[in-house]
Protein backbone atom coordinates (compact mmCIF):
# COMPACT_ATOMS: atom_id res chain seq x y z
CA UNK A 1 0.00 0.00 0.00
CA UNK A 2 1.16 3.53 -0.65
CA UNK A 3 1.37 6.27 1.93
CA UNK A 4 -1.17 9.08 2.17
CA UNK A 5 1.60 11.54 1.46
CA UNK A 6 2.60 9.72 -1.72
CA UNK A 7 -0.59 10.62 -3.55
CA UNK A 8 -0.24 13.28 -6.22
CA UNK A 9 -3.77 13.75 -7.58
CA UNK A 10 -4.55 17.47 -7.22
CA UNK A 11 -8.35 17.35 -6.95
CA UNK A 12 -10.71 20.26 -6.24
CA UNK A 13 -8.59 22.94 -7.88
CA UNK A 14 -5.05 23.90 -6.89
CA UNK A 15 -3.34 21.67 -4.31
CA UNK A 16 -2.95 22.81 -0.73
CA UNK A 17 0.53 23.63 0.49
CA UNK A 18 0.56 20.77 2.99
CA UNK A 19 2.54 17.51 3.26
CA UNK A 20 -0.38 15.67 1.61
CA UNK A 21 -3.68 16.37 -0.07
CA UNK A 22 -5.54 15.92 3.16
CA UNK A 23 -3.25 17.94 5.36
CA UNK A 24 -2.51 14.82 7.42
CA UNK A 25 1.16 14.37 8.17
CA UNK A 26 1.95 10.67 7.63
CA UNK A 27 5.26 11.04 9.50
CA UNK A 28 3.30 11.51 12.71
CA UNK A 29 1.42 8.24 12.34
CA UNK A 30 2.61 4.74 13.12
CA UNK A 31 1.75 2.91 9.89
CA UNK A 32 3.68 -0.36 10.07
CA UNK A 33 3.96 -3.12 12.67
CA UNK A 34 7.71 -2.42 12.88
CA UNK A 35 6.90 1.17 13.91
CA UNK A 36 4.46 -0.13 16.52
CA UNK A 37 7.18 -2.40 17.88
CA UNK A 38 9.73 0.43 17.93
CA UNK A 39 7.25 2.49 19.96
CA UNK A 40 6.91 -0.36 22.45
CA UNK A 41 3.28 -1.07 21.56
CA UNK A 42 3.75 -4.65 20.34
CA UNK A 43 6.46 -7.23 21.11
CA UNK A 44 8.95 -7.87 18.28
CA UNK A 45 8.12 -11.58 18.19
CA UNK A 46 4.62 -10.70 16.91
CA UNK A 47 5.88 -8.76 13.89
CA UNK A 48 5.58 -11.54 11.31
CA UNK A 49 1.95 -12.22 12.23
CA UNK A 50 1.09 -8.51 12.29
CA UNK A 51 2.81 -7.88 8.97
CA UNK A 52 0.40 -10.38 7.44
CA UNK A 53 -2.53 -8.38 8.81
CA UNK A 54 -1.04 -5.06 7.66
CA UNK A 55 -0.65 -6.47 4.15
CA UNK A 56 -4.42 -6.98 4.07
CA UNK A 57 -5.83 -4.04 6.10
CA UNK A 58 -4.56 -0.50 6.65
CA UNK A 59 -2.78 0.39 9.89
CA UNK A 60 -2.40 3.87 11.38
CA UNK A 61 -2.09 4.96 15.00
CA UNK A 62 -1.73 8.63 15.91
CA UNK A 63 0.51 9.81 18.76
CA UNK A 64 -2.59 10.76 20.77
CA UNK A 65 -3.81 7.16 20.67
CA UNK A 66 -0.36 5.61 21.06
CA UNK A 67 0.09 7.59 24.26
CA UNK A 68 -3.10 6.07 25.68
CA UNK A 69 -2.14 2.44 25.07
CA UNK A 70 -0.92 0.43 28.04
CA UNK A 71 1.36 -2.05 26.30
CA UNK A 72 1.66 -4.08 29.52
CA UNK A 73 -2.06 -4.81 29.45
CA UNK A 74 -2.90 -7.53 26.90
CA UNK A 75 -6.55 -6.48 27.07
CA UNK A 76 -6.01 -2.73 26.78
CA UNK A 77 -9.24 -1.28 25.28
CA UNK A 78 -7.43 1.35 23.23
CA UNK A 79 -5.02 -1.19 21.75
CA UNK A 80 -7.92 -3.46 20.80
CA UNK A 81 -9.31 -0.69 18.64
CA UNK A 82 -6.14 0.25 16.74
CA UNK A 83 -3.40 -2.39 17.03
CA UNK A 84 -3.70 -5.13 14.36
CA UNK A 85 -4.57 -8.63 15.53
CA UNK A 86 -3.96 -11.91 13.67
CA UNK A 87 -7.63 -12.75 14.31
CA UNK A 88 -8.46 -10.22 11.57
CA UNK A 89 -7.41 -12.81 9.00
CA UNK A 90 -10.13 -15.20 10.21
CA UNK A 91 -13.15 -14.47 8.06
CA UNK A 92 -16.53 -15.97 8.88
CA UNK A 93 -18.94 -17.03 6.10
CA UNK A 94 -21.50 -14.39 7.10
CA UNK A 95 -19.01 -11.50 6.94
CA UNK A 96 -19.18 -9.21 3.91
CA UNK A 97 -16.93 -6.79 2.04
CA UNK A 98 -19.84 -4.30 2.03
CA UNK A 99 -21.55 -5.24 5.31
CA UNK A 100 -24.17 -2.47 5.42
CA UNK A 101 -24.91 -2.51 1.69
CA UNK A 102 -23.63 0.89 0.53
CA UNK A 103 -22.90 -0.25 -3.02
CA UNK A 104 -26.49 -0.89 -4.24
CA UNK A 105 -27.44 2.64 -3.13
CA UNK A 106 -24.57 4.50 -4.83
CA UNK A 107 -26.08 6.26 -7.88
CA UNK A 108 -22.90 8.28 -8.55
CA UNK A 109 -19.39 8.21 -7.13
CA UNK A 110 -19.28 9.49 -3.55
CA UNK A 111 -23.05 9.42 -2.94
CA UNK A 112 -25.00 6.80 -0.97
CA UNK A 113 -28.75 7.45 -1.10
CA UNK A 114 -30.49 4.93 1.14
CA UNK A 115 -33.11 7.10 2.86
CA UNK A 116 -35.45 9.54 1.05
CA UNK A 117 -34.46 12.78 2.81
CA UNK A 118 -30.70 12.36 3.22
CA UNK A 119 -27.57 11.16 1.49
CA UNK A 120 -24.05 10.24 2.45
CA UNK A 121 -21.29 12.17 0.73
CA UNK A 122 -18.02 10.21 0.92
CA UNK A 123 -15.28 12.73 0.14
CA UNK A 124 -12.19 10.72 1.08
CA UNK A 125 -11.26 7.15 1.90
CA UNK A 126 -8.36 7.87 4.26
CA UNK A 127 -8.37 8.31 8.03
CA UNK A 128 -6.00 9.53 10.73
CA UNK A 129 -6.38 6.10 12.37
CA UNK A 130 -7.67 2.79 11.07
CA UNK A 131 -10.05 1.04 13.43
CA UNK A 132 -9.71 -2.74 13.48
CA UNK A 133 -13.51 -3.14 13.31
CA UNK A 134 -14.16 -0.68 10.46
CA UNK A 135 -17.15 -1.58 8.30
CA UNK A 136 -15.50 0.11 5.32
CA UNK A 137 -12.13 -1.57 5.82
CA UNK A 138 -12.23 -3.04 2.31
CA UNK A 139 -12.25 0.43 0.73
CA UNK A 140 -10.29 2.74 3.07
CA UNK A 141 -6.57 3.11 3.56
CA UNK A 142 -3.42 4.83 2.35
CA UNK A 143 -3.47 5.26 -1.39
CA UNK A 144 -7.26 5.28 -1.59
CA UNK A 145 -8.45 8.07 -3.83
CA UNK A 146 -10.48 11.10 -2.91
CA UNK A 147 -13.25 12.35 -5.16
CA UNK A 148 -11.94 14.05 -8.27
CA UNK A 149 -13.19 17.46 -9.36
CA UNK A 150 -15.54 15.82 -11.85
CA UNK A 151 -16.84 13.27 -9.34
CA UNK A 152 -17.47 15.92 -6.70
CA UNK A 153 -19.30 18.07 -9.25
CA UNK A 154 -21.48 15.09 -10.23
CA UNK A 155 -22.20 14.29 -6.56
CA UNK A 156 -23.25 17.88 -5.86
CA UNK A 157 -25.36 17.94 -9.02
CA UNK A 158 -27.14 14.80 -7.78
CA UNK A 159 -28.01 16.55 -4.51
CA UNK A 160 -28.96 19.78 -6.27
CA UNK A 161 -31.40 17.96 -8.57
CA UNK A 162 -33.34 16.27 -5.75
CA UNK A 163 -35.33 18.66 -3.55
CA UNK A 164 -36.27 15.84 -1.19
CA UNK A 165 -32.68 15.78 0.12
CA UNK A 166 -32.86 17.74 3.37
CA UNK A 167 -29.61 16.54 4.98
CA UNK A 168 -26.15 15.69 3.67
CA UNK A 169 -24.03 13.44 5.89
CA UNK A 170 -20.33 13.86 5.08
CA UNK A 171 -18.26 10.80 5.82
CA UNK A 172 -15.49 8.70 4.34
CA UNK A 173 -12.86 7.80 5.54
CA UNK A 174 -12.66 10.74 7.86
CA UNK A 175 -13.64 13.96 6.06
CA UNK A 176 -12.02 16.23 8.64
CA UNK A 177 -8.56 15.12 7.51
CA UNK A 178 -9.16 17.50 4.61
CA UNK A 179 -7.64 20.95 4.83
CA UNK A 180 -9.83 23.86 5.99
CA UNK A 181 -9.76 25.25 2.45
CA UNK A 182 -11.19 22.08 0.99
CA UNK A 183 -13.76 21.75 3.76
CA UNK A 184 -14.88 25.34 3.23
CA UNK A 185 -15.28 24.71 -0.50
CA UNK A 186 -17.58 21.74 0.11
CA UNK A 187 -19.57 23.65 2.74
CA UNK A 188 -20.04 26.61 0.39
CA UNK A 189 -21.28 24.33 -2.38
CA UNK A 190 -23.79 22.61 -0.11
CA UNK A 191 -24.89 25.87 1.52
CA UNK A 192 -25.80 27.18 -1.95
CA UNK A 193 -28.38 24.38 -2.35
CA UNK A 194 -31.59 25.84 -0.92
CA UNK A 195 -33.28 22.56 -0.01
CA UNK A 196 -30.27 21.25 1.94
CA UNK A 197 -30.91 22.41 5.49
CA UNK A 198 -28.55 20.21 7.53
CA UNK A 199 -24.88 19.37 6.99
CA UNK A 200 -23.55 16.62 9.24
CA UNK A 201 -19.86 15.66 9.52
CA UNK A 202 -18.82 12.26 10.92
CA UNK A 203 -15.31 12.14 12.36
CA UNK A 204 -12.89 10.66 14.86
CA UNK A 205 -10.41 13.54 14.59
CA UNK A 206 -11.25 15.47 17.81
CA UNK A 207 -10.26 12.33 19.73
CA UNK A 208 -7.44 10.81 17.69
CA UNK A 209 -5.69 14.05 16.61
CA UNK A 210 -7.27 16.86 18.63
CA UNK A 211 -4.67 19.47 17.63
CA UNK A 212 -6.08 19.31 14.10
CA UNK A 213 -9.33 20.93 15.30
CA UNK A 214 -7.99 24.42 14.73
CA UNK A 215 -9.92 27.70 14.62
CA UNK A 216 -9.45 27.63 10.83
CA UNK A 217 -11.05 24.19 10.56
CA UNK A 218 -13.90 25.16 12.88
CA UNK A 219 -14.54 28.26 10.83
CA UNK A 220 -14.54 26.25 7.60
CA UNK A 221 -17.34 24.01 8.91
CA UNK A 222 -19.80 26.83 9.54
CA UNK A 223 -22.46 27.56 6.93
CA UNK A 224 -24.64 30.65 6.95
CA UNK A 225 -28.30 29.69 7.19
CA UNK A 226 -27.65 25.95 7.59
CA UNK A 227 -27.57 23.68 10.65
CA UNK A 228 -24.12 22.11 10.89
CA UNK A 229 -23.54 19.13 13.20
CA UNK A 230 -20.40 17.17 14.02
CA UNK A 231 -20.80 13.54 15.06
CA UNK A 232 -17.85 12.24 17.07
CA UNK A 233 -16.90 8.56 17.05
CA UNK A 234 -15.49 7.46 20.43
CA UNK A 235 -15.65 4.04 22.07
CA UNK A 236 -13.95 4.30 25.46
CA UNK A 237 -13.90 6.95 28.15
CA UNK A 238 -10.09 7.12 28.06
CA UNK A 239 -10.32 8.55 24.53
CA UNK A 240 -11.94 11.66 25.99
CA UNK A 241 -8.66 13.21 27.13
CA UNK A 242 -8.25 16.83 28.17
CA UNK A 243 -7.03 17.59 24.64
CA UNK A 244 -10.04 15.82 23.10
CA UNK A 245 -12.44 17.73 25.36
CA UNK A 246 -10.73 20.99 24.40
CA UNK A 247 -11.13 20.11 20.71
CA UNK A 248 -14.83 19.42 21.26
CA UNK A 249 -15.15 22.71 23.15
CA UNK A 250 -13.72 24.61 20.17
CA UNK A 251 -16.52 23.21 18.03
CA UNK A 252 -19.34 23.57 20.54
CA UNK A 253 -18.30 27.06 21.62
CA UNK A 254 -18.41 28.09 17.95
CA UNK A 255 -22.08 27.09 17.83
CA UNK A 256 -21.64 23.65 16.23
CA UNK A 257 -23.67 21.01 18.13
CA UNK A 258 -21.99 17.65 18.65
CA UNK A 259 -23.43 14.17 18.82
CA UNK A 260 -21.63 10.96 19.73
CA UNK A 261 -21.66 7.58 18.07
CA UNK A 262 -19.95 4.47 19.40
CA UNK A 263 -19.58 0.87 18.32
CA UNK A 264 -20.28 -1.87 20.85
CA UNK A 265 -16.97 -3.75 21.03
CA UNK A 266 -15.98 -6.84 22.96
CA UNK A 267 -13.26 -6.03 25.46
CA UNK A 268 -13.65 -2.28 24.96
CA UNK A 269 -17.05 -1.09 26.18
CA UNK A 270 -19.12 -4.27 26.61
CA UNK A 271 -19.73 -3.99 30.33
CA UNK A 272 -22.04 -1.57 32.17
CA UNK A 273 -19.23 0.32 33.92
CA UNK A 274 -17.19 0.95 30.76
CA UNK A 275 -20.25 1.90 28.72
CA UNK A 276 -21.52 4.22 31.48
CA UNK A 277 -18.12 5.90 31.82
CA UNK A 278 -18.02 6.52 28.05
CA UNK A 279 -21.49 8.01 27.86
CA UNK A 280 -20.86 10.27 30.85
CA UNK A 281 -17.53 11.39 29.40
CA UNK A 282 -19.24 12.36 26.16
CA UNK A 283 -21.99 14.32 27.91
CA UNK A 284 -19.45 16.08 30.13
CA UNK A 285 -17.76 17.24 26.90
CA UNK A 286 -21.15 18.50 25.62
CA UNK A 287 -21.41 15.65 23.11
CA UNK A 288 -24.88 14.07 23.16
CA UNK A 289 -24.74 10.26 22.75
CA UNK A 290 -26.64 9.44 19.58
CA UNK A 291 -26.02 5.89 18.38
CA UNK A 292 -24.50 2.76 19.89
CA UNK A 293 -23.90 0.53 16.87
CA UNK A 294 -24.02 -3.23 16.91
CA UNK A 295 -20.74 -4.34 15.30
CA UNK A 296 -21.17 -4.83 11.56
CA UNK A 297 -20.37 -8.07 9.73
CA UNK A 298 -17.10 -6.69 8.36
CA UNK A 299 -14.43 -9.23 7.39
CA UNK A 300 -12.17 -10.39 10.21
CA UNK A 301 -14.01 -8.61 13.02
CA UNK A 302 -15.81 -11.45 14.81
CA UNK A 303 -13.38 -11.31 17.78
CA UNK A 304 -14.61 -7.75 18.46
CA UNK A 305 -18.36 -8.29 18.00
CA UNK A 306 -20.81 -8.94 20.79
CA UNK A 307 -24.19 -10.59 20.34
CA UNK A 308 -27.31 -8.45 20.06
CA UNK A 309 -28.59 -10.08 23.26
CA UNK A 310 -25.47 -8.87 25.08
CA UNK A 311 -26.05 -5.38 23.72
CA UNK A 312 -29.66 -5.40 24.85
CA UNK A 313 -28.61 -6.49 28.33
CA UNK A 314 -26.15 -3.60 28.48
CA UNK A 315 -28.80 -1.11 27.44
CA UNK A 316 -31.08 -2.46 30.18
CA UNK A 317 -28.24 -2.12 32.69
CA UNK A 318 -27.69 1.57 31.97
CA UNK A 319 -31.39 2.49 31.71
CA UNK A 320 -32.37 4.40 34.83
CA UNK A 321 -28.82 4.33 36.17
CA UNK A 322 -27.64 7.02 33.78
CA UNK A 323 -29.18 10.37 32.95
CA UNK A 324 -31.38 10.46 29.90
CA UNK A 325 -28.71 12.67 28.35
CA UNK A 326 -26.40 9.64 28.41
CA UNK A 327 -28.72 7.18 26.65
CA UNK A 328 -27.80 6.34 23.03
CA UNK A 329 -30.08 4.44 20.67
CA UNK A 330 -28.76 0.92 20.19
CA UNK A 331 -28.97 0.22 16.45
CA UNK A 332 -28.28 -2.44 13.86
CA UNK A 333 -27.45 -1.61 10.25
CA UNK A 334 -29.27 -4.44 8.48
CA UNK A 335 -26.90 -6.25 6.11
CA UNK A 336 -27.71 -5.82 2.46
CA UNK A 337 -28.49 -2.11 2.54
CA UNK A 338 -31.89 -2.26 4.24
CA UNK A 339 -31.17 0.55 6.69
CA UNK A 340 -30.62 1.17 10.35
CA UNK A 341 -33.14 0.05 13.01
CA UNK A 342 -33.26 0.25 16.82
CA UNK A 343 -32.64 -3.13 18.45
CA UNK A 344 -32.69 -2.12 22.09
CA UNK A 345 -34.64 -4.05 24.71
CA UNK A 346 -38.41 -3.66 24.89
CA UNK A 347 -40.18 -2.44 28.00
CA UNK A 348 -43.81 -2.70 26.94
CA UNK A 349 -45.93 -5.71 25.99
CA UNK A 350 -49.57 -6.63 25.89
CA UNK A 351 -50.86 -7.95 29.21
CA UNK A 352 -51.47 -11.67 29.41
CA UNK A 353 -55.19 -11.11 29.81
CA UNK A 354 -55.14 -8.69 26.83
CA UNK A 355 -56.50 -5.95 29.10
CA UNK A 356 -53.97 -3.16 28.69
CA UNK A 357 -50.22 -3.48 28.89
CA UNK A 358 -47.44 -4.72 31.08
CA UNK A 359 -44.52 -2.30 31.51
CA UNK A 360 -41.10 -3.28 32.87
CA UNK A 361 -39.17 -0.64 34.82
CA UNK A 362 -35.38 -0.29 34.79
CA UNK A 363 -35.07 -2.46 37.93
CA UNK A 364 -37.02 -5.31 36.38
CA UNK A 365 -40.32 -4.60 38.15
CA UNK A 366 -43.50 -5.17 36.15
CA UNK A 367 -46.52 -2.88 36.19
CA UNK A 368 -49.97 -2.83 34.62
CA UNK A 369 -50.97 0.06 32.39
CA UNK A 370 -54.58 0.62 31.22
CA UNK A 371 -55.56 0.06 27.57
CA UNK A 372 -56.83 3.63 27.11
CA UNK A 373 -53.72 5.24 28.60
Tell me which of 114, 122, 200, 204 is the catalytic residue: 114
| Rounded-to-integer distance, Cα 141 and Cα 174, Å | 11
Catalytic residue list contains 296: yes
Tell me which of 7, 57, 131, 229 is the catalytic residue: 131
Tell me which of 28, 32, 51, 115 is the catalytic residue: 115
- Reduce the DSSP state of residue 179 to 3 states and report it: coil
Catalytic residue list contains 57: no
Catalytic residue list contains 330: no
Crossing angle between the packed helical segments 308-318 and 272-284, to the nearest 10 degrees: 60
Catalytic residue list contains 145: no
Tell me which of 51, 266, 340, 357 is the catalytic residue: 340
| Rounded-to-integer distance, Cα 125 and Cα 142, Å | 8
Catalytic residue list contains 277: no
Tell me which of 56, 91, 118, 250 is the catalytic residue: 118
Tell me which of 16, 296, 305, 316 is the catalytic residue: 296
Catalytic residue list contains 366: no
Would strands 198-203 and 357-360 be described as parallel, antiparallel, or unpaired? unpaired
Catalytic residue list contains 96: no
Tell me which of 85, 98, 122, 127 is the catalytic residue: 127
Pinpoint the alpha helices (H) of the chain. 33-38, 47-54, 63-66, 77-82, 149-160, 180-191, 205-208, 215-221, 242-253, 272-284, 308-318
DSSP string for 85-128:
-GGGG---TT--SSTT--GGG-SSTTEEEEETTEEEEE--S--S
Catalytic residue list contains 28: no
Catalytic residue list contains 117: no
Tell me which of 122, 136, 182, 212 is the catalytic residue: 136
Catalytic residue list contains 115: yes
Instruction: For residue 56, give the H/E element and its range.
Output: none
Tell me which of 16, 174, 270, 333 is the catalytic residue: 333
Tell me which of 134, 238, 245, 316 is the catalytic residue: 134
Alpha-carbon torsion 66, 68, 74, 80, what sign?
A: negative
How many H-runs (helices) and E-runs (strands) does the chain carry?
Answer: 11, 12
- Reduce the DSSP state of residue 243 to 3 states and report it: helix
Find, among 22, 102, 93, the residue nearest to 60 by Cα.
Answer: 22
| Rounded-to-integer distance, Cα 142 and Cα 4, Å | 5
Known catalytic residues? 114-115, 118, 127, 131, 134, 136, 296, 333, 340
Amino acid sequence: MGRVGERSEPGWGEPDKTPSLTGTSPARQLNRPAELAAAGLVPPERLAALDAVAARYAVAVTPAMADLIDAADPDDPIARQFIPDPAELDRLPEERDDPIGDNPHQPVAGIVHRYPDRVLLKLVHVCAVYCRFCFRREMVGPGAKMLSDAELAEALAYVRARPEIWEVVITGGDPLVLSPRRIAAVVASLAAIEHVKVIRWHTRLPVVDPARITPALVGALKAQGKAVYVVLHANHAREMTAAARAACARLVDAGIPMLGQSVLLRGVNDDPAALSDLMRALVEARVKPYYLHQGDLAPGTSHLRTTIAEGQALMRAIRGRLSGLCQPTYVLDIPGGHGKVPVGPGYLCEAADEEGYEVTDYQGGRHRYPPAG
